[in-house]
Amino acid sequence: MGTDTKVAYEDRRVSIPLSQGVVVFRDAQGTVWTNVPHLCAHHSSTGFEFGYAGSGPADLALNVLEAVLRDRHHEGPRMQCYHGTCYQFVWNMHQVFKRLYIATIDQTLGGVVPRDVIELYITTFREKYPEQFEEA
pLDDT tens sequence across 23-49: 999 999 999 999 999 999 898 878 899
Instruction: Note the pLDDT tens digit of each residue in 103-122.
Output: 999 999 999 999 999 999 99
73 falls within a domain: yes
Phi, psi of 79 (to 5 degrees): -130, 155
pLDDT bin (cut points 50, 70, 90) of residue 129 is confident
Give the rounded distance of the alpha carbon of 10 from its chain centre.
Answer: 16
11 falls within a domain: no
**The amino acid at 40:** C
Over 70: is that where the pLDDT of 134 sits? no
Question: What's the number of domains the chain is made of?
Answer: 1
User: Which of 101, 121, 111, 102 minimizes the C-alpha distance to 48?
Assistant: 102
72 falls within a domain: yes
Phi, psi of 108 (to 5 degrees): -90, -45
1 falls within a domain: no
Range of the domain at 50: 18-132
Q: How much is the average pLDDT of 98-102?
A: 98
Q: What distances in angstroms separate CA 133 from CA 25, 75, 78, 95, one per listed residue?
A: 31, 10, 12, 15
